[in-house]
Structures are given as C-alpha cells and as structure tokens.
Amino acid sequence: MEQPLNYIYQKIETLSPMHSKKLKKNIAFFDERYYEQANSFFARYINILHHDHKTLDYSIDCYLRMIADVNSETVEFLRTGKYTSSTFAEVNQRVYARPETMEYYMHGLIMSQFLWKHHYQMLQYFTDTLPQYIKATKSYLEVGVGHGLYLSKALEILNDNTTLTAVDISETSITLAKNFIKDSRINYNLKDIFEFNNRKKYDFITLGEVLEHVEDPLKLLQKLKTLLSDEGILFFTTPTNAPAIDHIYLFNTVGEIQDIIKAAGFEIETERSLLSEEVSPERAAKLKIAILYGAFLKKSKAS
Amino acid sequence: MDKSEILKTVNDIFIDVLDDDTIVLTYETTANDVEEWDSLNHIQLVVAIEKQFRIRFTSQEIQSWNNVGELVNSISNRVH
C-alpha cells in the first residue's frame, strides 16, 4: 500500500498548489524519524476513519477547509490587528456548538499535527522531555484534550500505574480522543475546566493550545496552579499572532506569554519558540507570522 | 482605471512583496509560474493589493482566483 504521507502530499498538491508549496518547504526539514512517526500515525488514523465510514480524502478536505478559514482570518487579522472574535460566547456559537464545524476543524487539526513543521516539532519537544518526569508523575491531567494525540503519547510514555484524566468542553473532542486512544485507563470529563473540582492534585498537567481560546488566560493558569501538586509540572503551548475561527485571546509576542506565566506564579523549566513559516525572524516579526510557544513550568517558589 | 493599468500596478506589488524584480505577470499567470507565490505570500499580496486600491475582497474571492486575470477582474469590478 502507498504510504499515507505520499498520498496526502500529492492530493494537496493537486487541490491547493499554493498551500502545497508551504508543505514542500517543511518536507525539506523532516528526517527519517518524522516519516516513521507520521506514517504510523496516519495508518492508525485511517483505521478510525474507516470505522466511521470515512476516507483519508475526507480528512484532506477537512484540512483544506481549515486552511481556507485560517487564510481568511489571517487577512482580516492583517487588516485590523485583531482576532475576529473576542468572547467565548461568540466562538461557542460559531464553532463549539456546531458539530459539523467542530468535525471538520478537528480532522483538519489532526492532519496539521504532522503536516505543519511547528506542530510536529512541538510534539517532539513534549515526547522528548516528558520521560524526565516519569518517576514523579503518579497522576496526569490533560485540559483541552482535542483529538487526543498528546494524551496518547503520555499514555505510551508514562508508567502503567499513573492515573490519566482528561477534561474537555467539547463532546466532539472527547469522542474523537476516545476513538483514537481506545484505552480504559483514561478518565474523561466533559466539563468546563473552571467547573472541574475533584479535590485532587495532579503531578503533571498538559494544556495544549488552549490559552488562546479563553477570554482570561491568566485566570486559567491560576486555576491550573490550584490543581497542580507542589512539585508538579505544567506543560503548555499557545501561539502568538495566530488567527483562527475560535481564537479569542491575542498574544502579540512571546514576551507577553512569558509575562503571564510569571503573573500566574509559575517559573519556566525549559521553553521553545517555533516559527510557523520558513522565514527569517526579522521577516516573521514584520509579517506578524505565528510563533508556537511551549514550556515546561513549575510553581514559583517565591509565590 | 483600465485592466492593463491594474495589471501593471499588481505587477509592481508582486515585485515588492515577493522581492523579485524579474516578475512579469500576464492575465494567464498562475501560482505555478511564480515560485514564491505560496499561501503565505498570497495573503501578503491580498492585503497589499487591498491597501493600494483601497478595496476589500471577500473571503470567497481570496480563495477563488485561478490566475492573475481573475484577480485583475475582481479589482476592476471595484475600482471604476
């Protein structure tokens, strides 16, 4: 059988030559590890699609719909300097409460995990760093589980006796993650994180690309601090300048993200800033190109 | 402004945004003919063209042009 990646790249080249050029620039960077991981991921993903009577072509269409959304949001962002929505109520109505939109958006996002260099690099950063915390992590929580890829990696890496908990506000996400991971060890909670109080402290919390979806990211980090054990670790990612149909909080610079980390009472163990396009840092700043920021944090001793 | 003037102005914008003064556009030119005309630069081009002509394209239009001629038509429909 043809490798899924080749099929995906060829299909996108036919359907969207302009976008295909961006992907080709990414390909130049990828090594053997990428091809192994991406092909094995897509093989697993295709099984889920088939189970749901869908094909890879369906997902490629979802991905290109998401790209079209991102492009029009980006044009508007460059016109106004703002994201098109600024409240949770707006994006809830526009995206989260619409299963059809959520469906194509989630499948589009899954594809982007291995088609966008910065998404792939961030996943590597997570999977390469998490092993340092295996011993200390008896309980693991992911907030905003999305499609479940990070959670599936945590499940692979962490000890068998670690408890795993997932919280997400979207039923579509939870269903997708359950189908993707298929493991009874995970306790799923369809809930707003602000209403999630089980009096438990977690040794490790993951928050992947969630802060930009909330009105008050500082409040969310503070909430997670209350859920984290004293020596616990919070891994989180969020982008700067990344217009999307459901992004409401705009970080203009990485400095603004670092400020909020400090304000919430955390300190940075390690961090990464990954550019979303193959351009020089100077051009990236001039064109307001998105940077995906990720960091492993611990509670600040001073606070 | 007639279409040939619009084409000339669009050509100047391409040269500026893509930083390549060898670009010569015709109505038939597509993204396949201009190496640097990728999705990132397309957005920059859209915004620069809007600014220059003081117009706004719709989201559908931005995704719809198959060649420079169709882009020029979109501009021509707005500037008289």
Give the mean pLDDT of A265-276: 97
A303, pLDDT greater than 70: no
Cα separation of B15 and B36, whole Å?
11
Percent of chain A past pLDDT 70, that is, above it, reads 99
Chain A residues touching B32 at Cβ < 8 A: 17
β-bridge pairing A266-275 and A202-208: unpaired
Cα separation of A247 and A212, whole Å?
5
For every residue of A279-290, DSSP letters joined together read S-HHHHHHHT--
Q: Do B38 and A21 touch (CB under 8 A)?
A: yes
Please tell me the distance in Å from A77's CA to the nearest CA on chain B: 10
Helix, strand or coil, per DSSP, at residue A15: helix
Q: What is the pLDDT of residues A11-35, one digit of tens each?
A: 999 999 999 999 988 888 898 999 9
Q: Do B40 and A279 touch (CB under 8 A)?
A: yes
Chain B residues touching A21 at Cβ < 8 A: 31, 37-39
Q: Of 1.10.1370.30, 1.10.10.10, 1.10.3720.10, 1.10.1200.10, which CATH number belongs to B3-76?
A: 1.10.1200.10
pLDDT the model gives residue A1:
54
Q: Do A21 and B44 touch (CB under 8 A)?
A: no
Please tell me the distance in Å from A81's CA to the nearest CA on chain B: 12
- Which residue of A lies nearest to B41 if distances are taken between CA atoms? A18
Q: What is the pLDDT of residues A142-188, one digit of tens each?
A: 999 988 999 999 999 999 999 999 999 888 889 889 988 888 899 99
Q: Starting at the edge strand that comes first in sequence, how are the strands of the sheet with A202-208 ordered?
A: A186-190, A163-168, A139-143, A202-208, A228-240, A291-299, A266-275
Cα separation of A3 and A38, whole Å?
10
Q: Tell me if chain B has a CB within 8 Å of the CB of A178.
A: no
Pair of tokens at residue A119: 């998404």
Q: Residue for token digits 């459901």?
A: A246
Please tell me the distance in Å from B52's CA to the nearest CA on chain A: 13
SS3 content of chain B, % helix, strand, coil (to 5): 55, 0, 45
Q: What is the pLDDT of residues B27-64, one digit of tens each?
A: 999 998 999 999 999 999 999 999 999 999 998 899 88
Domain boundaries, chain B: 3-76
Give the global pTM. Answer: 0.93
When CB atoms are compared, the residue of B30, B37, B39 closest to A71 is: B39
Q: Nearest CA to A232 among A155, A134, A299?
A: A299
Chain B residues touching A79 at Cβ < 8 A: 47, 50, 56
Domain boundaries, chain A: 4-115, 117-299
Give the mean pLDDT of A100-105: 91
* Mean pLDDT (chain A, rounded): 94
Amino acid identity of residue A276, one-letter, is: S
Q: What is the pLDDT of residues A107-150, one digit of tens each?
A: 999 999 999 999 999 999 999 999 999 999 999 999 999 889 99
Phi-psi bin for A81: left (phi > 0), alpha (psi -120 to 50), beta?
A: left
Q: Do B31 and A71 touch (CB under 8 A)?
A: no
Please tell me the distance in Å from B5's CA to the nearest CA on chain A: 25
Percent of chain B past pLDDT 70, that is, above it, reads 99
pLDDT the model gives residue A229:
97
pLDDT the model gives residue B1:
84
pLDDT the model gives residue A96:
86
To which CATH superfamily is domain A117-299 assigned? Vaccinia Virus protein VP39 (3.40.50.150)
Q: Do B43 and A75 touch (CB under 8 A)?
A: yes
When CB atoms are compared, the residue of A17, A75, A287 closest to B32 is: A17
Pair of tokens at residue A96: 């989260």
